[in-house]
Structure 1
């Protein structure tokens, strides 16, 4: 579970900014939204508001960038540019300084870890990993640019083999994907399996998700995935009674000749399954049977729900931290609330999955839906840098306050200042 993220010098984020899913001790409402894990009271959901270009997406993408560095930097070529280095550009003192991340999290076995990295255009400037085997932290490893890596007593195994093959633009932790060190496998798996960041606004990516979950339903390897997806689509009032998978023939002779036989086979296996949605048919007001629709005949919202629903079911099944930019896009507000409340119930979320998302939907600003420490805002300073705070950080806002009214009136900040009188267009 994610406890806290800190970010410095990344996109619109200039100085250190913190985003936390640790429950505030002074916030007493909606205690069912908290799960007790070891010595921590952890929130299962959090949402972020803010005007356009305030830095909402940048905070979520910080997690994506950190995850990318852990999973992919082990394959960076010697002296190659670190591709996601994107420092704050509105202050010349930061333009060539390192981007820095700090992540405090609980692994699947509920061990607490703190992972810190800083990197510039070509180099990893530092990388540190600590954990809490007991009440006090212990260092697993600490690495600083142009210095030998320091290892803690808990990190055993063939560390030198990895260090000798490590380029200056690669993370040590990234190498665990292909070089096993038992003490670090759990940490690596947090980034590879325990965290999913969905921050793309691209119909092609939505199509990939649809293909992914089509094959997952067809292969039936995840217990109850098909049954749960059918239940979600039906109860979401989409008019869909169930989802069925059909297998269609693909003429391999139409595929490019330069593709190998294996590549053709992989492509066919990936796309041969198609979703069909089953709807009731009527004769007047009498039910007479069922008919099947192609997925492309369904609404944009229904197709979106299939992808988002699959992500949610996967997160619930594995206790993941799921991060979504604009969860509510193309979804009805009432449905969005239902999806959020799934994470608030021990019955539907027994493995303590988390949901973090950005939104503009002010109908979600509801004191019966969220605690004050769950609602965050992204605000732009005069200099153009982002900072983040929750309702719990604002003095005088009570648990019973009408969040939506306060927000739209500007009392909570993070709204655009628009002077309509200045819109003197010329035609």
Structure 2
């Protein structure tokens, strides 16, 4: 469960920007859009949040920051070698920032324990890394790592509450690797829940959504009925899904394709299964008519690709990040997808959804609480700023948020000029 995230000096996000899924004191839509956690200190959190703003405002960069944090946690110890560059880009429109590290921090709850974990990195090295845990309500300092420029070495503070082969993990941690990731590689059981949260519970999709293969895999097992229920609930008039898989055969490639291209494709697909997805509709006489998935509309294809990951997130309580959820989807389908997270029936494990969008028809107090709506815009120096609707104190249940947003009251809209 995500509580809060902060990022600084990453792409267009120059100054520290903090995004929170903590519930405010208001009781609006409390039974559907919020939940309480099992942590030692009760946290009331939000099930979703929407981020609005014009194109190129930095919305995607904010999601990319958490995706980058996840990637560094996952791979810095296992995939990177000494001297490899870390995948960070500082704010480049200011000379001072170009030489400073990017900083990331999350506060989350995993298995009833709250963690506060973060690090600052340049492409060359980790400058700082810290982890505090709250297993009994009070903070415990598990480790702090800080680069000393003058002595050109790290200063370490490994708290007594961190157990295991701490000195071995310390000595094994490269400059371009996280201590957390290194300790996991060397079998730290105590740090595993936090690492697994990054590795398994954080899920991302960009504007194109997901590949349909995962949803197709659910249709091959007992979960097909859940996928069909999802598609029917979205009113797509699809009566069945047929999935066929077969091993790749280079003979299906065109005869006139150059041999060197055939070799590359064959090498890449050798031993892999090719998935053929069909949709079934009823004709006027009630007979089945089979279509290729590619014959369906872009919106139907996208929704099918969403079905598997969406159901998987709801079933397992994941945190889902979607960039431009509205793309190729009718506004009512966007609301349908969001409301699945707002229902205790469809979201019993309190999965969370964070998405960027330009779809303003759902920007109202019947769908969202005021603390679930965020905005992103760029300042004159082209740095991105993230802020909450609560900063404007809109009237509960009375203010037309969509109208106020489109009229420019909250900012974060494009200023279009005549050519």
Calculate the TM-score normalised by the size of structure 1: 0.89
CA 1:72–1:315 in structure 2 vs 1: closer, same or farther (change >3 Å)? same
- Could you say which residue in structure 2 is the equivalent of 1:184? 191
- 2:270 is the alignment partner of 1:264: yes
Report if the CA contact (8 A) 1:176-1:188 is conserved: no
Distance 1:382 1:119 in 2: 26
Distance 1:54 1:262 in 2: 37
Distance 2:246 2:17 in 1: 51
Q: Tell me, what secondary structure is at the counterpart of 1:170?
A: coil
Report if the CA contact (8 A) 2:203-2:321 is conserved: yes
Alignment of 1:189-200 (within 5 A): 189-199=196-206
Unaligned stretches of 5+ in structure 1?
none
- 2:320 is the alignment partner of 1:318: no
CA 1:141–1:260 in structure 2 vs 1: closer, same or farther (change >3 Å)? farther
- Could you say which residue in structure 2 is the equivalent of 1:117? 119
Number of residues of Structure 1 aligned to a counterpart in Structure 2: 401
Q: Please give the per-residue CA displacement for 1:102-121, whole angstroms capped at 9, x wherever unaligned.
A: 100111x1210000100012
Report if the CA contact (8 A) 2:19-2:386 is conserved: yes
Alignment of 1:309-388 (within 5 A): 309-388=307-386
- Residue 176 of structure 1 deviates from its aligned partner by 4.6
- Residue 159 of structure 1 deviates from its aligned partner by 2.7
Alignment of 1:7-406 (within 5 A): 7-25=7-25, 27-32=26-31, 33-38=33-38, 39-74=42-77, 75-82=79-86, 84-107=87-110, 109-145=111-147, 146-199=153-206, 201-202=207-208, 206=210, 209-218=211-220, 220=221, 225-248=223-246, 250-251=248-249, 264-265=270-271, 267-268=272-273, 271=274, 273-283=275-285, 287=286, 289-406=287-404
Q: Please give the per-residue CA displacement for 1:154-186, whole angstroms capped at 9, x wherever unaligned.
A: 322223333222210111122355321011000
Distance 1:369 1:262 in 2: 45
Distance 1:50 1:257 in 2: 45
- Could you say which residue in structure 2 is the equivalent of 1:4? 4
Distance 2:295 2:117 in 1: 46
- Residue 141 of structure 1 deviates from its aligned partner by 1.5
Q: Please give the per-residue CA displacement for 1:5-48, whole angstroms capped at 9, x wherever unaligned.
A: 111111111111110000112x3311121101131110000000
Q: Which moved more, 1:377-386 or 1:402-411?
A: 377-386
Distance 1:111 1:323 in 2: 22
Report if the CA contact (8 A) 1:123-1:169 is conserved: yes
Q: Which moved more, 1:325-334 or 1:137-146?
A: 137-146
Q: Tell me, what secondary structure is at the counterpart of 2:411?
A: coil
Unaligned stretches of 5+ in structure 2?
148-152, 254-261
CA 1:261–1:333 in structure 2 vs 1: closer, same or farther (change >3 Å)? closer
Report if the CA contact (8 A) 1:34-1:44 is conserved: yes
Aligned-residue Cα RMSD (Å) equals 2.1
Calculate the TM-score normalised by the size of structure 2: 0.91
Q: Tell me, what secondary structure is at the counterpart of 1:406?
A: helix
Distance 1:18 1:262 in 2: 42
